[in-house]
Structure 1
Amino acid sequence: MNFDEIKDRRGTYCTQWDYVKDRFGKEGLLPFTISDMDLESPEEVAEALVKRINHKIFGYSRWNHDDFKNSIENWYKKRFSCEINKDWIVYSPSVIYAVSKFVEMKSEKGDGVLINTPGYDGFFKMILGNERRIISSPLKNVNGKYEIDFEDFEKKCREAKIFLLCSPHNPVGKVWTEKELAKIIEICKKNNVFIISDEIHMDIVYNKKHIPIVSLGKDYLENIVLCTSASKTFNIPAFTGSYLFIPSEKSREDFLKILKERDALSSPSILAVIATMTAYNECEYWVDELIKYTENNIRFVKEYLEKNIPELFCEIPDGSYFAWIDFSKLGISSEEFQKYLIDIGEVAVMPGLTYGEEGRYFLRLNVACSIKKVEDGLKRIKKTVDYIKAERK
Structure 2
Amino acid sequence: MSFNEVVDRRNTRSVKWDLTEQLFKDKEILPMWVADMDFQTPKPVVDALVDRASHGIFGYTVTDDAIHSIIKNWLSKKHHWEINTDWLSYSPGVVPSLHTSVEALTEPGDSILIQTPVYPPFYDVIKKHDRNIVTSSLQLQNGRYEIDFEDFEEKIQNVKAFILCNPHNPVGRVWTKDELQRMADLCVKHDVLILSDEIHADLVYAGHKHIPIASLSDEVAHRTTTYFSPTKTFNIAGLQASYIVTPDQDMKKKIDAQFGLQGLNMLNTMGVTAIEASYEHGEEWLNELIEVLDANKELLMKRVHEETNQIQIIEPEGTYLVWMDCRDLGLSHNELKEFMRTKAKVGLNDGASFGKEGEGFMRINIATPPQTLNEGIDRIVQAVKNQNDTDSN
Shorter-chain TM band: over 0.9
Q: Retained in 2: the 8 A contact 1:174–1:317? A: yes
Quick one: which amino acid aligns to residue 291 of structure 1?
I
- Residue matched to 1:221: 221
Deviation track 1:322-370 (CA, whole Å, cap 9, x = no partner) reads 2211111111122112212211222111121111111112111100010
Partner of 1:279: 278
The match for 1:98 is: 97
Structure 2 partner of 1:230: 230
1:375 paired with 2:366, answer no
Aligned to 2:127: 128
Is residue 391 from structure 1 mapped to residue 390 from structure 2 by the alignment?
yes
The residue number in structure 1 matching 2:186 is 187
Q: Secondary structure at the match of 1:233?
A: helix
2: distance between equivalents of 1:290 and 1:305? 22
Offset at residue 315 of structure 1 (A): 3.4
Report the 3-state secondary structure (helix = DSSP H, G, I; strand = E; otherwise coil) of the residue aligned with 1:91: strand
**For the residues of structure 2 that align with 1:99 and 1:246, how far apart are their CA atoms?**
13
CA distance in 1, matches of 2:314, 2:60: 46
Q: How does 1:96-245 map to 2 (within 5 A)?
A: 96-206=95-205, 207-245=207-245
User: 2:54 aligned with 1:49, yes or no?
Assistant: no
Deviation at 1:160, TM superposition (A): 1.0
Taking structure 1 as the reference length, the TM-score comes to 0.97
* CA displacement at 1:92 relative to structure 2: 1.1
Partner of 1:353: 352
The residue number in structure 2 matching 1:338 is 337
Q: What is the CA distance between 1:316 and its match in structure 2?
A: 2.2
Q: Deviations over 1:131-189 (max 9, x none)?
A: 11111100011111111101000111122111000010000110011111111111011
CA distance in 2, matches of 1:7, 1:103: 39
5+ residue gaps, structure 2: none
Please name the residue that 2:255 is paired with. Answer: 255
Cα deviation 1:43-64 (Å, max 9, x = unaligned): 000000000001010111111x
Secondary structure, aligned partner of 1:6: coil
Q: Is the 8 A contact 2:311 2:324 kept in 1?
A: yes
One-letter amino acid of the counterpart of residue 237, structure 2: P
Contact 1:321 1:366 in 2 (8 A): yes
* Cα pair 2:188 2:220 within 8 Å, conserved: yes
Amino-acid identity (%): 37
Q: How far apart, CA to CA, are the structure 2 residues paired with 1:199 and 1:32?
A: 22
Query: For residue 58 of structure 2, what is the amino acid of its counterpart?
Result: F
Shift of 1:221: 2.0
Partner SS for 2:73: helix
For 2:84, the equivalent position in structure 1 comes to 85
2:104 and 2:258 in contact (8 A); partners too = no
Where structure 1 has 5 or more consecutive residues not aligned to the other structure, the ranges are none
Write the distance in 2 (CA, Å) between the matches of 1:390 and 1:240.
47
Whether the 8 Å contact between 2:103 and 2:258 is mirrored in structure 1 is no
1:35 corresponding residue in structure 2: 35
- Deviations along 1:184-217, whole A, 9 cap, x unmatched? 1110111111000000000010120100112113
SS of the residue corresponding to residue 313 of structure 2 reads: coil
8 Å contact kept, 2:105–2:255: no
2:28 aligned with 1:20: no
How far did 1:259 drift? 1.7
**Structure 2: how far apart are the matches of 1:214 and 1:365?**
30
Alpha-carbon distance in structure 2 between the residues aligned to 1:390 and 1:357: 30
Distance in structure 2 (CA, Å) of the matches to 1:251 and 1:218: 14
Deviation of residue 4 (structure 1)? 0.6
For the residues of structure 2 that align with 1:194 and 1:86, how far apart are their CA atoms?
A: 21
Q: Distance in 2 between matches of 1:297 and 1:17?
A: 20
Q: Once structures 1 and 2 are overlaid, which stretch shifts more, 6-15 or 382-391?
A: 382-391
CA distance in 1, matches of 2:217, 2:151: 22
**What corresponds to 1:323 in structure 2?**
322
- 1-structure distance, mates of 2:361, 2:339: 15
> How far is 1:21 from its partner?
3.2
The one-letter amino acid paired with 1:381 is: I
Q: CA deviation at 1:387?
A: 2.2
User: Structure 2 CA distance, aligned partners of 1:191 and 1:378?
Assistant: 46
Tell me the C-alpha RMSD between the 2 structures. 1.1
